[in-house]
Structure 1
Amino acid sequence: MGGSATSAREPNERLGSWFRRSGWSKGELARQVNRRARHLGAHHISTDTSRVRRWLDGEQPREPIPRILSELFSERFGCVVSVEDLGLRSLPHSAAVSGIDLPWAGPQTVSLISEFSRSDLMLGRRGFLGTSLTMSAGPALIEPMQRWLVPTPASEAAPGARLAALPPQGREGRRLTGLSGPELAQLAETTARFRGWDAQCGGGLRRKAVVGQLHEVTDLLQESQPEPVRRRLFGVTAELSELAGWMSYDIGLQPTAQKYFVLALHAAKEAEDRALGAYVLSQMSRQMIHLGRGEDALELIHLAQYGSRERATARTQAMLYALEARAYATLGQPPKCHRAVRMAEDTFAEIRPGEPEPDWIRFFSEAELHAENAHSYRDLAYVAGRSPTYLSRARPLMERAVRLFADECAADPFGGHQRSYALNLIGMATVHLLGRDAEACAASAGEAMTLAKRLRSERVNNRLRKTWTTARRDFARVPEVVDLSHRLSAELPESEARRAV
């Protein structure tokens, strides 16, 4: 039924405070809990208004309801609202599915990634694994991540060494002679192909395939491998784990995404790849920006910059500066944001044509640079109360980004960065919205909606719906807004958008 047999004597003031500020009715919250539970495969849950009233009165609901409520309130307020913030209790979980303060050692990293990916595959009903996790933020997140720069004791390295005593014919019939160069190249090529599919289609289409490939690679790491092969395998593992995290983030599974990012950072450390580790930290920073945790985002970016000095390419450094600007904009710090924007532009200009670069950073094109900087100024404009100064900086950058993405996608309709194109059309719509240009806002949002229907990205759907909620409030009588509102209701139904990112 969704509640425990015993009730607390005192009302749950924490839950009550969040509930009152949400603007939801008891019936609406009950419907959302039931809808989310069905997505998770928890069909036994049937919540009603009387049940919600008992929660507010102090009754402690059983799992997975505390996790569901945490997700719903986090989405509603755009920040991390933990189970504890709601005055609720959650069941303890094993190290594989809870917490991020994990051992920084090869064997444990392999074991944790293997167990977590296997659980993700087995608990395959949408998002079920995510309900057994909690998001970490603040010192609980930053302090463990700082340890990625601490050298690993030699005695804890080389997880394959413990299999050295096995006979030449190893587990499941594989010979323990190490992977060949062509085999490693094929793994890298497969990972790059997955990354391309994600950019084209969104995270919802191939996420399970990436998780399956990740699990297979961890099996290879449990076999005896020469040290150079072991490092390369850990690099592939880090890339796949980061991609699994990014795709989870894209479809709204925030705790699952964070867990994969953390495991990816551990794998990058074992690969001795500081630049890849910095990239993983940048993805964690993006997630914190999205959740309204500007200070955490800034800490993660500074940690990435410090750890990858003199090891990252100009393109990677430019990306980190652009995200630093995003974090400063979220915090409402214009001078530091301006400086980071300039550093991103200057460093991007230092990219040498033909310079060898890893596949994971090739996405950061001129279009992405302009898009990130445009979003920084857009966010500053919002924080400063629709400041025309910052809007005048954001608009030409966003227009340039949209044109570049449009050209790329027109050249390859079945490839390219379709999701980035959609997200930046929505970004353009928000710039017009802040500038009080309703017709232009509707035009950009209409183009984004056409793309959104071809993507499997809850992030795109949610940003579009959130933007349009504001547009309907501010321009309820503008014909273009009314027309697009009808189209939005028909083509992007409410039940699809509720799993917001």
Structure 2
Amino acid sequence: MANQENSWNGGVPVGGGNGGSADKRPNASLGSWFARSGWSKGELARQVNRRARQLGAHHVSTDTSRVRRWLDGEQPREPIPRILSELFSERFGCVVGIEDLGLRPAHQSPSDSGVDLPWAGPQTVSLLSEFSRSDLMLARRGFLGTSLSLAAGPALVEPMQRWLAPAPAPAVPPQAGPDRARRPARLSQPELELLEATAVMFRQWDAQCGGGLRRKAVVGQLHEVTDLLQENHGPNIARRLFTVAAELAELAGWMSYDVGMQPTAQKYFVLALHAAREAGNRPLGSYILSNMSRQMIHLGRPDDALELIHLAQYGSRESATARTQAMLYAMEARAYANMGQPSKCHRAVRMAEETFGECSDADNDPDWIRFFSEAELNAENAHSFRDLAYVAGRSPTYAGLATPFMQRAVDLFGAEAEKEDGHHRSYALNLIGMATVHLLRREPEAAADVAGKALPLARRIRSERVNNRLRKTVSTAVRDYGDVRAVIDLSEDLAQQMPDSAEPLAV
């Protein structure tokens, strides 16, 4: 029984550690945090057991003697270190990492990575409720981030493959005993429609203002939806509620990604995929996987990104609309570009364009994919060739291929940005993308001009992703063309208008 607690009681594993080595020393770091927490050993043990059950780690059964052994220097195995990190972080309202507790970070197997969760409706609701509650509590204390760690490689991909397994039964609310079973449903049809409309409204706010402005509102709404899912509903209402939960969790993940909270974003994406599966909504699941793929590209893991995209394509091949399929091809091209595979990148770009050409208003696309417009298609293809240029050693050939796509995206997003509900963040990101293409083509004045247009947008929206990309682009321009007047002026404008010491984004 690999990576489980290895102390046994009557054949049943209980909370434990790595055994009693002769040279154990008291864990002063854990002891210090424990003393300041005000908890007793019994209270800490109860909290660990409760959190373990919420995570589905039912093999964990900790008691006061086990806590004493941890304080005496015994090293517990996962998921105990992660649970202790979360509990102390919540207690003190700041990041208390595993290392801060004097615990060694262990190699995580897929089952201990924090993403291999039980694929069942009641557990999905419970985990969504607990994670959103913790997020809201820590955000109120000014805590930007979590003690989670990112999963990657097999620890991420293998659990996600299980989203394709057929659900054992239609989505139903969790039943936790006779008291809960008798709870009456209090959701009317108009209220359900309003919840669905709220998810649409939050997506519009995100596109206009960035992820930093309304993230807490989305998380709060998600927490309310999980409360509703604990009531009795018919199968159709339950599926619609799970769909709303999946959309809100995906958006909470996307907003977290936008403000740089990468582990939090991944956890929300995983939970969103679970909710989409409970809703029986494979196209939505494929969209969630595409955002997980985008995050992996951002984190320099294109191999993982490609695996996730192929899972998305396979899972929705018979149910996704042409628009969704085109988006998945475009993301496939991004993964191949970052892997340095030009022929496969070209093929995926071509498939994205051809499939997008099959889109029509009659497709009745859901709101979550309507963002994928001609502008988005050109933007993705442009970034694929731009990324390919970097992988190929700043190739001017691929930079030239990226140019018309990027210019078309800038023109279309620029026209959209003039509208009240325009996608201002996308416009800013593609202006910055255009600047990077100009730098690849050794055109510093043009790069400075385009990046300068992105600066006022970056100041107005709440997106750490935009801010970081703009700073990185200007830094590259200064490094390569620091004697060019336009670049010097841009660098000075950036330093004055967006100093590094600016206040952190609200989340």
Pair in the same fold by TM > 0.5 = yes
List per-residue Cα deviations over 1:326-348 (Å, max 9, x = no partner): 00000000000000000000000
1:120-199 equivalences under 5 Å are 120-125=135-140, 128=143, 130-154=145-169, 158-162=172-176, 170=183, 176-177=184-185, 179-199=187-207
Quote how far apart the aligned CAs of 1:125 are.
4.9
Q: Which runs of 4+ in 1 moved over 2 A?
A: 87-93, 125-131, 156-168, 177-181, 495-499
Write the letter of the residue equivalent to 1:136.
A
Quote how far apart the aligned CAs of 1:130 are.
2.7
List per-residue Cα deviations over 1:246-302 (Å, max 9, x = no partner): 000000100000000000000000000000000000000000000010000000000
Quote how far apart the aligned CAs of 1:354 are.
3.6
Verify the 8 A CA contact 1:398 1:427 in the aligned structure 2: yes
1:283 and 2:291 matched: yes
In structure 2, distance between residues paired with 1:276 and 1:105: 18
Quote how far apart the aligned CAs of 1:467 are.
0.8
Write the letter of the residue equivalent to 1:261.
F
Write the letter of the residue equivalent to 1:246.
W
In structure 1, distance between residues paired with 2:478 and 2:350: 35
Describe the shift of the 1:320–1:257 C-alpha distance in structure 2 as closer, same or farther (beyond 3 A).
same
Verify the 8 A CA contact 1:164 1:224 in the aligned structure 2: no
1:394 and 2:402 matched: yes
1:336 and 2:344 matched: yes
Verify the 8 A CA contact 1:163 1:224 in the aligned structure 2: no
List per-residue Cα deviations over 1:363-387 (Å, max 9, x = no partner): 0000000000000000111111221
List per-residue Cα deviations over 1:5-31 (Å, max 9, x = no partner): 58xxxxxxxxxxxxxxxxxxxxxxxxx
**Structure of greater Rg:** 2
In structure 1, distance between residues paired with 2:200 and 2:491: 38
- Which of 113, 116, 125 is 1:101 aligned to? 116
TM-score, normalised by the number of residues in structure 2: 0.77
In structure 1, distance between residues paired with 2:210 and 2:441: 29
Quote how far apart the aligned CAs of 1:353 are.
2.5
**For residue 457 of structure 1, what is the aligned residue in structure 2?**
463
Quote how far apart the aligned CAs of 1:497 are.
9.1
Question: SS state of the match for residue 278, structure 1?
Answer: helix
In structure 2, distance between residues paired with 1:183 and 1:421: 34
In structure 2, distance between residues paired with 1:128 and 1:91: 25
Verify the 8 A CA contact 2:246 2:275 in the aligned structure 1: yes
Verify the 8 A CA contact 1:107 1:157 in the aligned structure 2: no
In structure 2, distance between residues paired with 1:344 and 1:166: 48
**For residue 319 of structure 1, what is the aligned residue in structure 2?**
327
List per-residue Cα deviations over 1:432-490 (Å, max 9, x = no partner): 01111000000111011111011000000000001111110001110111011111011
Verify the 8 A CA contact 2:121 2:174 in the aligned structure 1: no
1:360 and 2:375 matched: no
Describe the shift of the 1:149–1:350 C-alpha distance in structure 2 as closer, same or farther (beyond 3 A).
same
Write the letter of the residue equivalent to 2:294.
R
List per-residue Cα deviations over 1:383-438 (Å, max 9, x = no partner): 1122122111100100000000001112x1x3211000000000000000111100
Verify the 8 A CA contact 1:98 1:132 in the aligned structure 2: no
Write the letter of the residue equivalent to 2:236.
P
**For residue 265 of structure 1, what is the aligned residue in structure 2?**
273
Describe the shift of the 1:92–1:324 C-alpha distance in structure 2 as closer, same or farther (beyond 3 A).
closer
Describe the shift of the 1:281–1:126 C-alpha distance in structure 2 as closer, same or farther (beyond 3 A).
farther
In structure 2, distance between residues paired with 1:442 and 1:138: 38
List per-residue Cα deviations over 1:140-189 (Å, max 9, x = no partner): 000000000112334x9523445676687x4xxxxx24633222111111
Describe the shift of the 1:124–1:335 C-alpha distance in structure 2 as closer, same or farther (beyond 3 A).
same
List per-residue Cα deviations over 1:75-97 (Å, max 9, x = no partner): xxxxxxx989xx9835999x9x9
Describe the shift of the 1:98–1:234 C-alpha distance in structure 2 as closer, same or farther (beyond 3 A).
same
Question: SS state of the match for residue 130, structure 1?
Answer: coil
Q: Which 10-residue stretch deviates more, 387-396 or 135-144?
A: 387-396
Q: Which 10-residue stretch deviates more, 457-466 or 377-386?
A: 377-386
In structure 2, distance between residues paired with 1:148 and 1:480: 51
In structure 1, distance between residues paired with 2:141 and 2:409: 33
Verify the 8 A CA contact 2:171 2:239 in the aligned structure 1: no
Quote how far apart the aligned CAs of 1:200 are.
0.2
1:4-23 equivalences under 5 Å are none
In structure 1, distance between residues paired with 2:209 and 2:161: 34
Identity of aligned residues (%): 68
Listed as ranges, the gaps of 5+ residues in structure 2 are 1-26, 30-83, 90-96
In structure 2, distance between residues paired with 1:484 and 1:129: 30
Listed as ranges, the gaps of 5+ residues in structure 1 are 7-61, 68-81, 171-175
**For residue 282 of structure 2, what is the aligned residue in structure 1?**
274
1:230 and 2:223 matched: no
Write the letter of the residue equivalent to 2:483.
R
Verify the 8 A CA contact 1:127 1:253 in the aligned structure 2: no
RMSD between aligned alpha carbons?
2.7
Question: SS state of the match for residue 300, structure 1?
Answer: helix
